[in-house]
Amino acid sequence: MKRSLLLAAFIAGWTAPALADDPKTVEDYIKLAQQKEADFYSSGGHYRDLEDAVDIYSAILKQYPKEFPEVYYYRAEDYSAAGMERAAIKDYDKALELDAPPPKGPYLKHDAIYKDRGEAEKDVGEYKSAVADFTRAMQSHPNDLELVDDRAEARLGAGDCAGAISDYSSAIELTPAGETPSSLYYDGRAVGRICTGDLEPALEDFRSAIKSEQQLNTQTHMNSIGTTNLNKWVLLTHLGRKADADQELSAELAAADTPKDIDSEYDAARYFLGRADQAVLFSDAEALKKKQPSAAGAFQSDAWYYAGLKAAADGSKAEALKDFHKVLASRQSTMGTPEAAHAWSVELQRHRH
């Protein structure tokens, strides 16, 4: 077998763990890498273990660049775990390229690779490629709830709002009996429906998302304001039902736990109801940046999004579109915010007056 091939040289200064006192073959070193991966996941994530696994796979591939397509797949998984999605995509590509064609192969589970590559593509904003990969994976697993949800998210990111609505509807239908569909399915479908102009069904989806979230809150004894509450307020106002919008958001704010720390959604709700100035959105963003600099762009993007929502509700179309454009131009954002900004931009531009 190929795995019995000797690995002639390895990383200078690297010491093999106790798993194999004297590793010699590729098989031995793959086991070493897998032990390092197991250590990483069991230890709560010491990245040195993951780096060691990647180093091992890289050493194998340096000596045998075409013989072990599975090693590219293993390394891709580690790159994904480390947040190195673009490197992972290259390795997924290589694994698929080198896997033996019929009748000798394939040896690898291509549907799993398509799913994992799709996840990486979705994470870096390559939504059309992600949709294609999730669709390939679904050929073998058409009713896989996770795959359907993944493709729905990718379709929404790609601007295929009708396709996203269809997939989110399927995800709701595929939710096992006795379980409440995820609030994310309803929320995603609502955003898709704003994009297509189906506003009343979108409103019902936001209500369903909030209800689903409230059931979870009952279990966790937590109650908070979320972006769904804010979107619902804007949609109700956009539909000419400002009094209902204010009444519902006021009740939701009163029922929410008082934040013990910075809570940008809670403060945005206060701003929407006239209980705070717009400045609170950006002061929250600045405070959160200091606490978590790596996500600074996302906090700023959230502030622009909330400002855009309020401008849209106030009828300041040009100002809202300007803020939403800032969200869409941001290199970093909270999950779902760019898609919602795009949907609202489409809806606002649908009406010229």
What CATH number did the domain enclosing 96 receive? 1.25.40.10
Instruction: Give percent above pLDDT 90 in the chain.
Output: 82
Q: Are 288 and 339 contained in the same domain?
A: yes
* Domain boundaries, position 41: 2-108
Residue 250 lies in a domain: no
Vertex 283: Cα angle to 323 and 270 (nearest 5): 75
| Torsion over CA: 266, 268, 274, 275 (sign) | positive
What distance in Å separates the CA atoms of residue 206 and residue 312, rounded to the nearest whole number?
A: 18
- Under 8 Å between Cβ of 320 and 344: yes
Among candidate residues 191, 207, 222, the one where a domain is terminated = 222
Residue 203 lies in a domain: yes
Residue 83 lies in a domain: yes
Rg (CA), the chain: 24
Average pLDDT over residues 130-147: 97
- For 104, the token pair is 């000798």
Q: How much is the mean pLDDT over the chain?
A: 91
Residue 7 lies in a domain: yes
Average pLDDT over residues 182-192: 97
| Span 249-288, pLDDT tens digits | 999 999 999 999 999 999 999 999 999 999 999 999 999 9
Q: What is the pTM of this model?
A: 0.89
Neighbours of 213 (CB within 10 A): 22
Q: Are 88 and 155 contained in the same domain?
A: no
Q: Are 167 and 210 contained in the same domain?
A: yes
Q: Are 74 and 164 contained in the same domain?
A: no
Return the exposure string of 38-48: e unless at least 16 CB atoms fall within 10 Å of the residue's CB, then b.
ebbeeeeeeee
Q: Which residues contact 178 (CB under 8 A, 6 or more apart)?
A: none
Residue 128 lies in a domain: no
Q: Are 102 and 37 contained in the same domain?
A: yes
Report whether pLDDT(24) > 90. Answer: no
Report whether pLDDT(128) > 60. Answer: yes
What distance in Å separates the CA atoms of residue 149 and residue 134, rounded to the nearest whole number?
A: 10
- Under 8 Å between Cβ of 98 and 66: yes
Our count of domains for the chain comes to 3
Report whether pLDDT(20) > 60. Answer: no
Average pLDDT over residues 186-202: 98
Q: Are 84 and 153 contained in the same domain?
A: no
Q: Are 80 and 149 contained in the same domain?
A: no
Q: Are 22 and 89 contained in the same domain?
A: yes
